[in-house]
A and B are shown apart, each in its own frame.
Chain A
Amino acid sequence: MFSRILTIAQQEVRIGIRNRWVLLATLILAVFSLALALLGSAPAGTLGIDRLTITVASLASLSVYLVPLIALLLAFDAVCGEIERGTLLMTFSCPISRTEFLFGKAIGHAFVLTIALVAGYGLTALVLVASGTGSLSGLTDFTRLIATSVLLGICFLALGYVLSALTRQSGTAAALAIAAWLLLVVLYDLALLGALVANPRGIFASQVFPYAVLLNPADAFRLFNLAALGASDLVGGMAGVAETLPFDPAFALVSLVVFAGAALAASATLIRRITP
């Protein structure tokens, strides 16, 4: 069983490297994070706080946008693309279960994402440490950021598999993936903010809003990272929320794990039903 899962995973990683997906994702993450770290340092210059920690705070916001996008782009083709090419027929005629196939894909894609995150963000950390503005505690923050980014990525990979298994055309799946990204990463936040601004002291703000943040993996990810940095005084915004929450911010991490598990289970159910 494991050898079959690993075979699929290995194939995905190899394809990711060959068609330069890994390189592209790494470059995007490196360029944006370096820009944030180097250009964004001016206002924090005199605060006397570790530059690495501040950078991690801004990278958390960067991850919220980029990681789901990269994950969805990796995943949307996973099922319907193979249906279109006819390779799914061939793979499924081998003695491999569909769940094994899906897990193999997920592991391979998560690995591709991990390489990109470690290389892209790692480069930024390296630059900061080398220039003498980073410390060891900052590196822990960095590691946490990368680990949770991978988790966030798995949530959106699984969402991508669900969309991919729902349709037979990769064009449709691509459109659905972009729509999902817009909805969960951009519009969801806007809607929450709008509701908060409209009625800052109402029931929504105290009872609904904190859980609404938990439900969306992108928001849960940001909440957890900023709370863990204790950076509310640094970056404000969402982070300020952490102190008024009716629960421990670690719940945000649980929410990420639950979301990833549920989405993977859903895609596994869907893929068992399709006719390749």
Chain B
Amino acid sequence: MTRSTLAVRSVTKRFKSHVAVDQVSFELEPGTRVALLGHNGAGKTTLFKMILGFLKRDGGEISVLGSSPGSRVSRQGAAYLPESVAFSGALTGAEIIRFYARLKGENVARSLQLLERVGLADAARRRVNTYSKGMRQRLGLAQALIGKPQLVLLDEPTTGLDPISRQNVYELIGEIADQGATVLLSSHALTELEARTDRVLILSKAKLVADDELGTLRARAGLPIRLKVWTKPGAVREVAEHLGAGKMNGRSVELDCGMDEKVRTLSAISALGNLVEDVDVHAPSLDDVYRHFSDTSRKEA
């Protein structure tokens, strides 16, 4: 059995009367990419700070690489990139990497090569205040990769980035996980995660409301697939009748169907022959799944 990189067991954190993290439990295995999703104030950052040993928990257990949070072992093996960090603008990218490599007691020359890996080799000698937001974030990632950490915690690594920079960041995260590190990243930008995480944790109102692979979550949510059937002019009514129900909309018919009915419905559509011009299939996005789980917990509360 592989030992889990991070184990969180019924962890609770209260700030005065307000409960920030409520009985949260999960375990992460080596080499997985895990997304921690939640709205603002759901408790993501608080959870990170407890994992790092900055905040004391009011209940439960946390084990980082088999040690307690904040211990030397855990700090040596875990790396962290906080949300919207502002490096001192007077320093160059290379100087910042050198600084953190020394603090972590890692080889400086090898750490500087990380700048190349995040695409900052040309900018290494420039001051950080000349960097764009995406470049700063990549510098932060390079910092988090110093010394091949086994656990990488990234707090909203893509917030405020343009789509290309965001893609870069996710490619890097994929590379890190491929080398055997566990990556736990928090986000509220949901749709972009789809293909890039092995597992999704959803935190809503301090509670963990979902913890599974995306596909499983999707199935559990039981959200319908939405089909949009484009018909020949004037054939809308006929198509709608054949498919039973459906919302008519000018030249198209919209209908929802469950996962298990998907193939049957599609063959029914193709049986209509040349009455149909085109079909759009909308699988529920991560956004829909996320909304489903956080709404469910809200209704229960």
Residues in chain A within 8 A of chain B (CB atoms): 3-4, 7-8, 11, 14-15, 18-19, 85-87, 89-96, 275-276
Contact at B54–A4, with CB atoms within 8 Å?
no
- Of A7, A11, A86, A93, which one neighbours B78 at CB under 8 angstroms? A93
Contact at B99–A7, with CB atoms within 8 Å?
yes
Contact at B54–A18, with CB atoms within 8 Å?
no
Known: A19-B90, A95-B104, A275-B49. A85 touches B85 (CB 8 A): yes
Asked if B103 is at the interface (CB within 8 A of a chain A CB), the reply is: yes
Contact at B102–A7, with CB atoms within 8 Å?
yes
Asked if B258 is at the interface (CB within 8 A of a chain A CB), the reply is: no
**Considering residues B80, B88, B140, which has the most beta carbons from chain A within 10 angstroms of its beta carbon?**
B88
Asked if B72 is at the interface (CB within 8 A of a chain A CB), the reply is: yes
Contact at B54–A90, with CB atoms within 8 Å?
no
Chain B, residue nearest A101 (CB):
B103
Known: A15-B91, A89-B80, A275-B54. A94 touches B75 (CB 8 A): yes
- Of B79, B90, B105, which one neighbours A93 at CB under 8 angstroms? B79
**Considering residues B78, B83, B86, which has the most beta carbons from chain A within 10 angstroms of its beta carbon?**
B86
Say what secondary structure dominates the interface of chain A: helix
- Of A11, A86, A96, which one neighbours B86 at CB under 8 angstroms? A86
Chain B, residue nearest A92 (CB):
B54
Q: Which residues of B contact A94 (CB under 8 A)?
A: 75, 100, 103-104
Contact at B86–A4, with CB atoms within 8 Å?
no
Residues 122-158 (chain B) with a chain A CB within 8 angstroms: 127, 140, 143
A11 to B76, CA, bound (A): 21
Closest Cβ of chain B: how far from A100's Cβ, in Å? 9
Other A-B contacts than A3-B105, A89-B80, A275-B55, 14 sampled, CB-CB below 8 A, are A14-B95, A15-B91, A18-B127, A87-B88, A89-B52, A89-B82, A90-B80, A90-B82, A90-B143, A93-B75, A93-B78, A94-B104, A95-B75, A275-B54
Asked if B26 is at the interface (CB within 8 A of a chain A CB), the reply is: no
A94 to B81, CA, bound (A): 11
Known: A94-B100, A94-B104, A276-B54. A87 touches B86 (CB 8 A): yes
Residues 53-81 (chain B) with a chain A CB within 8 angstroms: 54-55, 72, 75-76, 78-81
Contact at B75–A86, with CB atoms within 8 Å?
no
**Considering residues B80, B102, B140, which has the most beta carbons from chain A within 10 angstroms of its beta carbon?**
B102
Closest Cβ of chain A: how far from B193's Cβ, in Å? 23
- 13 A-B pairs (CB sep. < 8 Å): A3-B102, A4-B102, A11-B95, A14-B90, A85-B88, A87-B87, A89-B82, A89-B85, A90-B82, A91-B103, A92-B52, A94-B103, A94-B104
Closest Cβ of chain B: how far from A25's Cβ, in Å? 16
Chain A, residue nearest B54 (CB):
A275
A270 to B105, CA, bound (A): 26
